[in-house]
Amino acid sequence: MTPTRDLDELLAIASRLLDGVHDQFVSGVGAPSAVRKGWGDFATEVDLALEKRLTAELFEQTGIEVHGEEFGGPDVGSGLVWVLDPVDGTFNYSAGLPTAGTLLALLDDGVPVLGLTWLPLIGHTYATRAGGPLLVNGIAVPPLEPTDLASSIVGLGALNVNSRGRIPGSFRLDLLAEISKVSSRIRIHGSTGVDLAFTAAGILGGAIVYGRNAWDNAAGVALVRGAGGVVTDLAGNPWTVESESVLAAAPGIHGEILDILNALGDPRASSSGGPQS
C-alpha cells in the first residue's frame, strides 16, 4: 500500500488539479451530446476535454497512469492507477441540472485509497484518504453516527420499470416500494457521485447504486468508508472493484436496507409484486 505521507501528497495534488478545471467545467454546462455511447447514454465535448486534460496533468505530476470513462486506460485491479469520471451525471450536466461533478479515485491493487468528488455547480468538494477523515470543502468532519432508515433520505439509482439485465426494473420498483414503507424520503439524483458523496457527508442516510463501473463507484466508496460508513454490494458482500452494485450507508441504516434487499431475493428472479421467498 502507498505510505500515508504519500497519500496526503497525492491527495493535495489531485485536489489542486480538480480545482484547476473548475472554470472549464462550469462554463460547459448545457453542452450537447458529442458521442453516443448506447441507449440513453452519451458524452459531451466537455467530458472528452476534461478527461484528456486531467489524464495528462495527473500523469505529469504523479507518474501514475489514469483509467478514464471515455478513453479507458490500464487495468483498474492491478497496481496504482487513477480512475476518472470527468463528468458524472452527464445528462444532468447537459440539461443544466447542478447535480453533476468530477469523480477521481486512486486505486492500489483495486482498493480505493483516495477518493475525490468535486461538485462545481453547487460549490462543494468531498475528499478522503484511506482511514479518513472525510474532508468537506477542505475541512475534516466527524464520522457518521449510527441512525435509522425511518428518519433518513435514501438515494436510488435510475429506474425504468421495463428495463431488463442484471438488476431489472421490476426489482428496482419493488425495492423502492419496500423502502418507502419505512422512509418516504427517496431521491433519484441521476448521479452516482452525488449519491455517494452525500451519503458520506450524512446528507443521505444511504445510497443504492445499480451500476458496476469503477469510474462511477470507486471515489464514492472511498468517501463513505473514510466517513465511517458501511459499503457492500446489494447482496451484502464487501465491495470490491469487481462488484456489480453498491449499497453504501451510515451504520444502522445499512443493515435495515440490506434486510429489505434480502427479503426481495435475487434480482434476476424479480417480477413486480413485492417480496419473494
Question: Does residue 41 surpass a pLDDT of 60?
Answer: no
**Domain range summary for the chain, segments of one domain joined by +:** 4-141, 149-268
pLDDT of residue 276: 33
The pLDDT tens digits for 194-221 are 999 999 999 999 999 999 999 999 999 9
pLDDT of residue 219: 98
Instruction: Give the fold, CATH level 3, of 149-268.
Output: D-Maltodextrin-Binding Protein; domain 2 (3.40.190)
9, β-bridge pairs: none
Task: Decide: pTM greater than 0.75.
Answer: yes
**Per mean pLDDT, which range of 25-39, 74-88, 120-134, 151-165 is the poorest?**
25-39
pLDDT (average), residues 173-180 = 97
C-alpha pair distances (Å), 261 with each of 43, 45, 202, 269, 270 = 32, 38, 22, 13, 12
The pLDDT tens digits for 226-277 are 999 999 999 999 999 999 999 999 999 999 999 999 999 988 776 544 433 2
**Per mean pLDDT, which range of 20-29, 44-53, 116-125, 235-244 is the poorest?**
44-53
Contacts of 158 (CB under 8 A, 6+ apart): 188, 190, 210
Instruction: Give the fold, CATH level 3, of 4-141.
Output: Fructose-1,6-Bisphosphatase; Chain A, domain 1 (3.30.540)
Name the pLDDT band for 80 (thresholds 50, 70, 90).
very high
Domains 4-141 and 149-268 fall in the same CATH topology: no
Question: Does residue 185 surpass a pLDDT of 70?
Answer: yes
Question: Does residue 39 surpass a pLDDT of 50?
Answer: no
Contacts of 105 (CB under 8 A, 6+ apart): 82, 83, 112, 114, 115, 116, 214, 218, 219, 221, 222
Question: Does residue 171 surpass a pLDDT of 90?
Answer: yes
Average pLDDT, the chain: 92
Name the pLDDT band for 30 (thresholds 50, 70, 90).
confident
pLDDT of residue 45: 83
**Grid coordinates belonging to 155:** 438515494
pLDDT of residue 70: 84
The pLDDT tens digits for 108-124 are 999 999 999 999 999 99
pLDDT of residue 271: 52
